[in-house]
Amino acid sequence: MADVSLRNVVKKYDDVLAVASINLEIPNHEFVVLVGPSGCGKSTTLRMIAGLEEITDGEIEIGGSVVNDLPPKDRDIAMVFQNYALYPHMTVAENMSFGLKLRKFPKAEIKARVDNAARILDITELLERRPKQLSGGQRQRVAMGRAIVRNPKVFLFDEPLSNLDAKLRVQMRTEIKRVHQKVQTTTVYVTHDQVEAMTLADRVVVMNAGKIEQIGTPNDLYHHPATRFVAGFIGSPAMNFVPATVESNGEALRVRLSDTLSFNIPESRAARYKPHVGKQVTFGLRPEHITETRGHHNGTGQEFNAVLDVVEPMGMETMVYFRINGTELCGRVEPTAAGAANEQMALRANLDHMHLIDPATGLVL
Amino acid sequence: MADTVQTWGSTVPEKAVAKPNKMQKFLRQRSTIAFLMCLPLILIIVCLVIYPAFYSIYLSMLNKAQTRFIGLGNFTFLMSRDTFWQVVAQSTIFALSAVFFKALIGLVTAHLVNNLPAKGQRKWRGMLLVPWVIPLALSTLGWWWMFDPTNSAFNYTLRSLGFDGIPWLSDPYWARFSVILVNVWYGAPFFLIMYLAALKSVPEQLYEAASIDGASAWQKFIHITLPMMRNIIAITVLFSLIVTFANFDIVQIMTAGGPRNMTHMFATYAFLLGIRSGDLPLGAATSLFMFPILAVAAIFILRGVRKRGREIG
Amino acid sequence: MSVATASVPTSRAMPTGASLRRNRRWALWASYFFLILFAIFFLAPPYYMVVTALKTDGEMAKLATNPWFIYDGVTLDQFRILLYNTDFLIFFKNTIIVTVCVVAITMVVSVLAAFALGRMRFWGSSILATGIFLTYLVPDTLLFIPMFQIVKSIGLLNSYWGMVLVYPTLTVPFCTWIMIGYFQSIPKELDEAALIDGAGHMQMLLKIFIPVALPGIIAAMIFAFTVSWAAFVYPMAFLYSSDQQVLTVGTVTSLIRGDVYKWGMLMAGALLAAAPPLVIYAFLMDYYIAGLTAGATKG
């Protein structure tokens, strides 16, 4: 097990920049998730760590030594692929022991490791089957088993759950987390699913267009996004964004969303937003901070009325969609409080959780 | 367990330190290894296909004893001979008519087999492909025996039905018919297999959608089956044209070009001139006349295969 | 073509379920009827060869009975004469040696090349792949005369080792072409997993690619086998003495003495010579057909 560090790592395909100068330090035992939309360079980054892609520029270090020129087999890493990549002509046990056999491990040692990994993953009774005879979830376990038996310095996961159905995905997510808690191997995990990223990661790396947008714990990213991209990418449904202007109202500040609607900015934020008075900004607020007016809410909730476009009951809550100045917003309300479509409803915005974004740079102010 | 990992993990940094020299690096490179893996194949193609092809051109410009360069003498000599033009005509007639009937029979039988319940299809397909599996030289021998004038199975059957016997291989026109018949018999199963595979690759939903749109069986055939199979039909026909045009076994065994050189094809005529009469340059020149026709067909096949690859890939 | 349409149930006539079913059944019977006609056409020659091989010479000479059937009893005499009084077994042995060598050479050469071309792009690899396909389209009758000169110059004229040298030009291009297709259908992640597991290029080929693409390997082997078993032009041109002759040419030339045609024995010889490909076909039909159709659909 080991630290992994990426220093100014660049990947170009011919002249197309896939990854632009990435810096990332992953301490031993950490579970790091790279997340971002497709084509953001997260898989390329993972494959560069694995040695499956050559590095155009920069340095990758695993366990204290630079591995730039090492082939994958000498990097002491194990990888789990999206389509599992199990060898179809080998049994589960043979699949898991293939890497050890190639490294000339003694037979007894191989058997002990395979049995141990099978126990951890609860696939002992599948060891003699072939991949074709397994369900998707079972294949996923075998693919993980193949990584575990190697006892490598680093686990690499490349969207391992995206071929599973929704229910199984949740189940396997927990499984992966459990296995990591048990074996404690440094893990780099790639996914496009922000829920997966939030639930699994010690730290999340949000990538976009070949660059790292932000690195932080799941809670960090959720509460303190650094950029509009992160704010919009993390959280579901996504954060609402409305063009707005900052106005000064004596000592206090206001953010104006439309001719008829403006909110008072909480005093705690006033100092921070003061320099932006009179400027165009983007106002951001998550759906869970737009609620019904009744009930237990405290803090600086500010009420307003909106005509509902669409109402989506989800069971434990109901999503309501409405427009402010032509921009669609989403709120999250108690099912009993929700109005019907085309009716007016009183809503409360909790401004303690608001964000203001500079529309030119995309940075959160 | 942890021990083994440690010791074996610790070898990694050492390797990283040792910088490979240029030669090693070159040999380790993927493209170098790939090239070495292709080398035997390249040698075979270069030494046994490309070299003979150019050598053939050189050879065709020598005199019979291969002592003197005579330019295009062999070609002009051939073109001055009636027999040669007969060979051109017969090769063309043979190839066009045989391929036409092979394609037609293949299409019809493929549809018939495709109509059967799925269980029985395998059995029928297996049975109908038998002519293709028997080495052509050997089945041609069987045909020759059936065409035998005195003991002939065909003539016996004709006579017992009240017709006259037919001089299958001794009359020039019947001989032409006979060699084409054998080629159709041998090659039609290949078309059957190709078309059947193509028919199976047409998505069933297309036919269902057409049924709902009110298409008749004939309309489905014209508007769905044929367009979907167009490429594979073209590839198979062109491929078969090459093979049929260059055919040797049937004519060589059944008629050896006779009667009156009426059944000679390029291949058998080249064999007669080059090997039997010992005039290799003239034989090489005869073979080379096939080249332009084959090349044109080959280029169209290549286009078709590429297109087909894009369609299904 | 009218046959094809007549036998497909027409959706125009669909007033009731019963008539639809009747249409279908009628179409099925029509299909069977025409298929039986075609089967008679396709299977008559082999059938007649079997009948002839099992007849006595006496029955054949009489010309009195229907030649399509056996009246004087079945005999294996023709096979006995063939095996004891002719060089047939020598032809058989030669053919086996040639075919085994050619299949081995073909598989080694084409699997290596297909692995390189299907997986590791290198400079000129796509040109080479195209070249391979074009080589496959070169018929043996185009080059047999220069080949004669080449085989003669290296001293292999009238030797079956000359066949081992030249047959690969007929087998290698197609086998490589279909193996490229099979190898390309193996997901790329599989080699990456093997790479991470520590496999080198050769281990990847031997332990992953060959086992996974086994159906393709078998199809290619069958193709190489049938081509080299049935080859006719090259042995016809290059071999002339009986001890070097192979089955196809030996059966149709050496067994015929002057103008005496011992048809029973000839047919027995043709049948025995055709038996190995037929047996392989009977047992491995699916692989045989996969190889046959792969050329036009892969790559």
pLDDT (tens digit, 9 = 90+) per residue, A332-345?
998 888 888 888 88
Structure tokens at C23: 């249409």
**pLDDT range class, residue A13, cuts 50, 70, 90:** confident
Q: Are residues C94 and C223 in the same domain?
A: yes
CA-based angle B21:B25:B29, to the nearest 5? 180
Q: Are residues C2 and C110 in the same domain?
A: no
In a domain, C62, yes or no: no
Taking each helix axis from N to C end, the angle separating C168-184 and C285-297, rounded to the nearest 10 degrees, works out to 80
Residue B142 pLDDT:
93
CATH topology of domain B82-312: MetI-like fold (1.10.3720)
Structure tokens at A276: 């932006």
Q: Are residues C177 and C33 in the same domain?
A: no
pLDDT in tens, A194-214: 899 999 999 999 999 889 999
pLDDT in tens, C14-39: 455 667 788 888 888 989 999 999 99
Residue B14 pLDDT:
37
- Distance in angstroms (rounded) separating the CA atoms of residues C15 and C18: 9
Instruction: Determine which helix (DSSP H) or strand (DSSP E) holds A12, and give its type and residue range.
Output: strand A4-13
Q: Which residues of A touch C216 (CB under 8 A)?
A: none
Residue C7 pLDDT:
42
Residue B281 pLDDT:
94
Structure tokens at B169: 């291989």
Which residue bears the tokens 């694995």? A50
In a domain, C77, yes or no: no
Chains contacting chain B through 3 or more C-beta pairs under 8 A: A, C
Residue C291 pLDDT:
83
Q: Are B128 and B192 in contact (CB under 8 A)?
A: yes
Residue C295 pLDDT:
64
Nearest to C212 among A72, A81, A89 (CB): A89
Within a 10 A sphere around the Cβ of A330, how many other Cβ atoms?
A: 20
Nearest to A74 among B1, B2, B15 (CB): B15
**pLDDT range class, residue B202, cuts 50, 70, 90:** confident
| Cβ contact C195–A52 (<8 Å) | yes
**pLDDT range class, residue A319, cuts 50, 70, 90:** very high
Q: What is the DSSP string of A13-50?
A: ETTEEEEEEEEEEE-TT-EEEEE-STTSSHHHHHHHHH
Judged against a pLDDT cut of 90, whether residue B306 lies above it is answered with no
- Distance in angstroms (rounded) separating the CA atoms of residues A76 and A32: 18
Structure tokens at C257: 């003495």
Segment B251-275 mean pLDDT? 91
pLDDT in tens, A66-88: 988 888 888 889 999 988 899 99
Residue B27 pLDDT:
56
Does C195 contact chain A (CB < 8 Å)?
Answer: yes
Nearest partner of C27 among A131, A6, B217, judged by Cα:
B217
Q: Are A357 and A341 in contact (CB under 8 A)?
A: no
Segment B100-118 mean pLDDT? 92
Judged against a pLDDT cut of 70, whether residue A98 lies above it is answered with yes
Interface test with C, best of B107, B133, B296 (most C CBs within 10 A): B133
Q: Are residues C224 and C136 in the same domain?
A: yes
Comparing A297-306, B19-28, B206-215, the range with the smallest average pLDDT is: B19-28
**pLDDT range class, residue B23, cuts 50, 70, 90:** low
In a domain, C50, yes or no: no
List own/partner pairs for A112-115 with CB under 8 A and 24 or more apart: A112/B1, A113/A149, A113/A151, A113/B1, A114/A145, A114/A149
Does A50 contact chain C (CB < 8 Å)?
Answer: yes
**pLDDT range class, residue B4, cuts 50, 70, 90:** very low
Structure tokens at C263: 């048809």
b vs e for A66-105, b when ≥16 Cβ sit within 10 Å of the residue's Cβ?
A: ebeebebbbbbbbbbbbbbbbbebbbbbebbbbbbebeeb
Question: What is the domain extent for residue C7?
Answer: 1-44
Does C212 contact chain A (CB < 8 Å)?
Answer: yes
Q: Taking the mean position of all CA atoms in its chain, how far away is CA C157?
A: 25
| Cβ contact B1–A151 (<8 Å) | yes
Q: Are residues C154 and C39 in the same domain?
A: no
Task: Chain A: give the shortest CA distance to residue C112, in Å.
Answer: 20
Instruction: At C14, give phi and psi (nearest 5°).
Output: -135, 45
**What are the angstrom distances between the C-alpha of B305 and each of A85, B191, B196?**
30, 16, 17
Residue C258 pLDDT:
67
- In 3-state terms, what secondary structure has residue A304? strand
Q: Which residues of A touch B16 (CB under 8 A)?
A: 65-67, 69-70, 74
Instruction: At A131, give phi and psi (nearest 5°).
Output: -50, -35
Residue B102 pLDDT:
96
- Distance in angstroms (rounded) separating the CA atoms of residues A26 and A8: 14
Q: Are residues C239 and C290 in the same domain?
A: yes
**What are the angstrom distances between the C-alpha of A4 and each of A28, A43, A67, A95, A160?**
8, 16, 10, 27, 20
Judged against a pLDDT cut of 80, whether residue A3 lies above it is answered with yes
Sorted by where each starts, the structural domains of chain A and their CATH numbers stand as 4-229 (3.40.50.300), 240-357 (2.40.50.140)
Segment A145-152 mean pLDDT? 90
Residue C5 pLDDT:
40
Structure tokens at C171: 């087998």
| Cβ contact C198–A82 (<8 Å) | no
Does C230 contact chain B (CB < 8 Å)?
Answer: yes
Judged against a pLDDT cut of 50, whether residue B76 lies above it is answered with yes
Residue A361 pLDDT:
87
Does B18 contact chain A (CB < 8 Å)?
Answer: no
Structure tokens at C183: 């190898």
Query: Closest chain C residue to B268 measured between Cα atoms?
Result: C141
Where residue C129 sits, what CATH number does that domain have?
1.10.3720.10
| Cβ contact B8–A69 (<8 Å) | no
**Total domain count, chain C:** 2
- Distance in angstroms (rounded) separating the CA atoms of residues C126 and C136: 16
| Cβ contact C132–B134 (<8 Å) | no
Does C49 contact chain B (CB < 8 Å)?
Answer: yes
In a domain, C93, yes or no: yes
Residue B310 pLDDT:
65
- Distance in angstroms (rounded) separating the CA atoms of residues B189 and B212: 34
Does C29 contact chain B (CB < 8 Å)?
Answer: no
Nearest partner of C223 among B190, B26, A59, B65, judged by Cα:
B190
| Cβ contact B221–C5 (<8 Å) | yes
Structure tokens at C279: 């047996």
Taking each helix axis from N to C end, the angle separating A166-183 and A136-149, rounded to the nearest 10 degrees, works out to 20
Does A33 contact chain C (CB < 8 Å)?
Answer: no
- Distance in angstroms (rounded) separating the CA atoms of residues A188 and A44: 12
Q: Percent of chain B having pLDDT more than 70? A: 89
- Distance in angstroms (rounded) separating the CA atoms of residues A302 and A283: 15
Residue B24 pLDDT:
59
Segment B6-23 mean pLDDT? 42
Q: Taking the mean position of all CA atoms in its chain, how far away is CA A196?
A: 6
In a domain, C71, yes or no: no
Nearest partner of A80 among A111, A125, A105, A117, judged by Cα:
A117
Task: Chain C: give the shortest CA distance to residue A71, in Å.
Answer: 8
Residue B5 pLDDT:
35
Q: Are residues C4 and C110 in the same domain?
A: no
Comparing A180-184, A265-269, B177-181, C226-230, the range with the smallest average pLDDT is: A265-269
**pLDDT range class, residue A94, cuts 50, 70, 90:** very high
C10: left (phi over 0), alpha (psi -120 to 50) or beta: beta
More confident residue, A180 or C10: A180
Chains contacting chain C through 3 or more C-beta pairs under 8 A: A, B
Q: Are residues C124 and C266 in the same domain?
A: yes
Judged against a pLDDT cut of 70, whether residue A308 lies above it is answered with yes
Judged against a pLDDT cut of 70, whether residue A116 lies above it is answered with yes
Segment B87-113 mean pLDDT? 94
- Distance in angstroms (rounded) separating the CA atoms of residues A200 and A34: 11
Is the dihedral angle over the CA atoms C21, C22, C27, C29 positive or is it negative? positive
Task: Chain A: give the shortest CA distance to residue C190, in Å.
Answer: 5
pLDDT per residue of chain C (299 residues) written in tens, 0 to 9 = 333 444 444 444 445 566 778 888 888 898 999 999 999 999 999 999 999 999 888 888 777 788 888 888 888 988 998 999 889 999 999 999 999 999 999 999 999 999 999 887 777 888 898 899 889 889 999 999 999 999 999 999 999 999 999 999 999 999 999 999 899 889 989 989 998 998 888 889 999 999 999 999 999 999 999 999 999 999 999 999 889 999 999 998 887 776 777 888 999 999 999 999 999 999 998 888 888 887 665 43
Break chain B into its structural domains and give their ranges: 82-312
Judged against a pLDDT cut of 80, whether residue B19 lies above it is answered with no
